[in-house]
């Protein structure tokens, strides 16, 4: 991951050609957080963060419901390799959370032979999910401490993709406030 960040910043030439960048899933460690702060400072960019949260029970249910097409499926596949789609068999409607299942529609099935047979991702088991959440919790406090002077917007996901418009609006306001 650290090497990927270095390669990204070298390719992006942030200070010369862009107003910024969105990095998904980073920083994951305090070292990466410090590195991002240095890159932002040296390129003259303002570093902002967004912290997305979701109830752990809901998250676990959704992760257990993820499915991918079987077309050339490998154990690391996060989507059908033929059509780049992923699905979710889990519907949630409780405690203020509402997330519909995302299943292949008729067009998906006509276009992609892999999406006729959906399979759970190999890493979506209760034990693996629990281990990943424990690892995440162990690092989160250290990462947040490393970013204590960085403005961070928090957003709780309640409706899955249907939260996109709300998230986008809040994020635009947050960016305007801090840039």
> d(Cα 46, Cα 31) in Å, to the nearest integer?
18
What's the whole-number mean pLDDT along residues 121-142? 93
Lowest mean pLDDT, pick from 30-39, 72-81, 150-159:
72-81
Q: What is the pLDDT of residue 109?
A: 82
Q: How far apart are CA 62 and CA 91, in angstroms?
A: 8
For helices 2-12 and 30-43, the axis angle rounded to 10 degrees is 10
**pLDDT at residue number 75:** 47
* Across 77-90, average pLDDT: 77
* 22 pLDDT tier (thresholds 50, 70, 90): confident
Residue 30 near residue 143, CB atoms below 8 Å: yes
**What's the mean pLDDT in 149-169?**
96
Percent of the chain with pLDDT over 70: 84
Model confidence at 15: pLDDT above 60: no
Cβ-Cβ contacts under 8 Å for 83 (sequence gap 6 or more): 69, 71, 108, 111, 112, 114, 115
> What is the per-residue pLDDT across 54-83, written as a single tens digit (0 to 9) for each?
999 999 999 999 988 765 544 445 667 777
Averaged over 33-49, what is the pLDDT?
89
pLDDT over 80 at 13, yes or no = no
Tokens of 123: 């890493």
Q: Is the pLDDT of residue 178 over 90?
A: yes
């Amino acid at each position: 991951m650290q090497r990927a960040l270095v390669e990204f910043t070298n390719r992006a030439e942030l200070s010369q050609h862009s107003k910024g960048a969105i990095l998904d899933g980073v920083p994951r460690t305090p070292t990466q957080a410090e590195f991002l702060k240095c890159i932002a400072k040296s390129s003259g960019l303002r570093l902002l963060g967004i912290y997305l949260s979701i109830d752990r029970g809901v998250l676990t249910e959704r992760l257990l419901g993820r499915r991918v097409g079987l077309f050339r499926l490998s154990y690391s596949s996060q989507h059908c390799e033929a059509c780049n789609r992923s699905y979710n068999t889990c519907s949630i409607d409780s405690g203020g959370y509402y997330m519909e299942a995302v299943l292949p529609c008729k067009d998906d099935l006509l276009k992609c032979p892999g999406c006729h047979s959906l399979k759970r991702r190999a890493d979506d088991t209760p034990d693996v999910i629990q281990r990943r959440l424990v690892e995440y919790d162990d690092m989160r406090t250290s990462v947040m401490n490393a970013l204590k002077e960085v403005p961070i917007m928090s957003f709780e996901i309640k409706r899955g993709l249907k939260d996109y418009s709300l998230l986008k609006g809040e994020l635009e306001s947050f960016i305007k406030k801090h840039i």
